[in-house]
Amino acid sequence: MAQFVSSQLLKGFLQGIMLSILSKKANYGYGIAVALNEVGLGQVPKGTIYPLLATMEKRGLLQSESRPSEDGPDRKYYFPTEEGMHAKEEFYSQWAMLEKTMNQMIEGD
């Protein structure tokens, strides 16, 4: 799937997907990249993930904490705030509406 997802389309829904991933388990940047790949989005560039994490934290959707790593320096783990959980639910709602609309359009062809 990943090779067919345009970067503009990806940017439009990446925040919601990241909130969904992080609502299940706090994670750090590389771990989020792996999770995005596992759900079929391919290799999302670090240059996309890290700035979005910083923006989401600044907007109050995420909090972070430093945790020790067995592999070297501490890692910054992210998890959704209450506001982030509300944003995730809003994303799910908007996605369901979009999916319904797209299905109607496709079935109408």
How many Å apart are CA 47 and CA 95, to the nearest integer?
25
3-state class of 70 per DSSP? coil
Q: What is the CATH number of the domain that holds 50?
A: 1.10.10.10
Residue 1 falls inside a structural domain = no
pLDDT of res. 11: 73
- Counting the structural domains of the chain, the total is 1
Per-residue model confidence as pLDDT tens digits over 79-92: 999 999 999 999 99
Q: Is the pTM of this model over 0.75?
A: yes
Q: What is the pLDDT of residues 42-81, one digit of tens each?
A: 899 899 999 999 999 999 999 999 999 998 999 999 999 9
SS3 68: strand
Enclosing domain of residue 83: 7-108
pLDDT of residue 109: 67
Asked if residue 23 is part of any domain, the answer here is: yes
Q: For position 6, what pLDDT does the model report?
A: 66
